Amino acid sequence: MSAQESTAGFTHRRRRGAELFLLLLSLVVGVGAYAAVGLGVEGTVPVDILGYGGWLAALCLIAHLVIRFFAPYADPVLLPIVAALNGLGLAMIRRIDLAELAQNEDANTFARDQLIWMTLGVALFVAVLVLLRDHRRLQAFTYTSGFAALFLLLLPLLPVLGTEINGARIWIRLGPFSFQPGEIAKVCLVIFFAGYLVLHRDALALAGRRFAGIDFPRGRDLGPVLAMWLVSLAVLVLQRDLGSSLLFFGLFLVMLYVATERPGWLVVGGALFAGGAYLGFLFFGHVQSRVDSWLDPFPSDTGSYQIVQGMYGQAWGGLVGRGLGQGDPTLIPFSYSDFIFAAMGEELGLTGVMAMILLYGIIVERGLRTALVCRDAFGKLVATGLAVTFALQVFVVVGGVTKLIPLTGLTTPFMSYGGSSLVANWALIALLLRISDHARRPLPDLGGPEESETTQVVRTR
């Protein structure tokens, strides 16, 4: 069978046709949003709609063909969702560009650059799937990935390369280009954490003292958690990056819990996080300003102007939004990057925002499903880490924009302007698809009725 394979009476579907159908729907969403922006702002369909739509469609179809030939059993839902989110983000960035150009003909525009970054992201996506045929090979680079992540995190601190933008020293500048090494570092950290926990999970799972019905870890095993806690504090102190600090520590803590199945680690990690957050509030002014703006954003002249404008914009959007091109997202500072979610809420309303959160939730769910059906421990932990990365990043972004938690400064995956985040997230999705392809592939025919029921269930997934 060319499109299907059968093993012991079970049919393994590749679902590439379903992926293509969903991908076409996502292109309708992305290109349709771009056309709606032109109609809403200028009253006509954009003159470059064919060129833009053709470029976007070519990128998505190339990604689909690579999956079809190099990862035929990969999850069929991830690529269409990513394409839809990326398309919506491009349309909103274009909408903000048009508003800026209406006020100033010499204003900077970002939509074309974002499309170029998307092209680079898809190129890296293709490279990962073509060159990495088995995710388990990454386990041999466990400590290499750890050193690479540490090196990338230290790069912005160098006096020549590092540069401070908007109060955070998380960028390096190479000529006219700037880049966030931390976006690549988070992928390296997932690989390092997964490899390390596979090797040491037996020792880390050993129970120490039991208190209140919870088995706490032994004191001698607290070293990795303390080390990661210190690294997170260093990111907070030296780079003034509250979002990345939260992301890195939360990622390690969740992966540690998944690897050991010990709730005690969550209690210990939660206590360390609370202590670190309190110390950060006491000793660092940028943390205090974030918390003060969160507790009392009015009046907005105290540094919370961005939060207040975002709240006003979302309130004006209401349930169904003003419509693409009908709002005024330029009133929100950095609406094309940090606060693009607020701009979306203004023009698409609560309904559109909930739909986007649902799409992100599906990405996380498919990642965790891949972790459940993956047959090797390393792949399980990597898939879990990648899914948790998305979950934490979206939570802190949406929570900060809606004033649920203090603002952290992270970007919305696939939607916010920024080449570093976009390229890294495309690579992250490629790695998740590679693990999914390995997990969903049919097992070799063990031959015979003695095959266990558990094996049969795994095969049907």
List, for residues 400-411, the tens digit of each pLDDT value.
888 888 887 778
The pLDDT assigned to 168 comes to 66
The mean pLDDT of 22-38, rounded to a whole number, is: 94
The pLDDT assigned to 237 comes to 67
Give CA–CA dist 400/416, Å, rounded: 15
Residue 336's φ and ψ, nearest 5 degrees, are: -85, -10
Give CA–CA dist 17/81, Å, rounded: 15
Give CA–CA dist 422/428, Å, rounded: 10
For 268-289, the pLDDT digits (tens) are 888 888 888 888 788 777 778 8
Residues 6+ apart with CB under 8 A from 410: 243, 244, 247, 338, 393, 396, 397, 400
The pLDDT assigned to 54 comes to 94
For 44-62, the pLDDT digits (tens) are 898 889 999 999 999 999 9
Tell me the average pLDDT of the chain.
Answer: 83
The mean pLDDT of 245-256, rounded to a whole number, is: 86
Q: Which long-range contacts link 417-420 to residues 24+ away (Cβ below 8 Å)? A: 417/89, 417/93, 417/110, 417/113, 417/114, 417/336, 417/337, 417/340, 418/117, 418/180, 418/337, 419/113, 419/114, 419/116, 419/117, 419/120, 419/179, 420/179, 420/180, 420/181, 420/182, 420/183, 420/184
Residues 6+ apart with CB under 8 A from 362: 77, 81
Give CA–CA dist 188/149, Å, rounded: 5
* Cβ proximity of 413 and 394 under 8 Å: yes
Q: Over 70: is that where the pLDDT of 167 sits?
A: no
For 324-354, the pLDDT digits (tens) are 988 888 888 888 888 899 999 999 999 999 9
Give CA–CA dist 24/390, Å, rounded: 24
Burial class, 381, CB count within 10 angstroms (exposed 0-12 / middle 13-18 / buried 19+) = buried
Among 19-28, 248-257, 432-441, 443-452, whose mean pLDDT is lowest? 443-452
Residues 6+ apart with CB under 8 A from 72: 14, 16, 437
Which H/E stretch holds residue 417?
none
Residues 6+ apart with CB under 8 A from 414: 82, 85, 86, 89, 422, 425
What is the per-residue DSSP string for 333-391? TTTTTTTHHHHHHHHHHHHHHHHHHHHHHHHHHHHHHHHHH-SSHHHHHHHHHHHHHHH
The CB density around residue 45, as the number of other CB atoms within 10 Å, is 14
Q: What's the predicted TM-score (pTM) here?
A: 0.88
Res. 212 pLDDT band, cuts 50 70 90: low
Of residues 450, 439, 447, the one with CA closest to residue 12: 439
Q: Over 50: is that where the pLDDT of 457 sits?
A: no
Give CA–CA dist 171/409, Å, rounded: 13
For 354-369, the pLDDT digits (tens) are 999 999 999 999 999 9
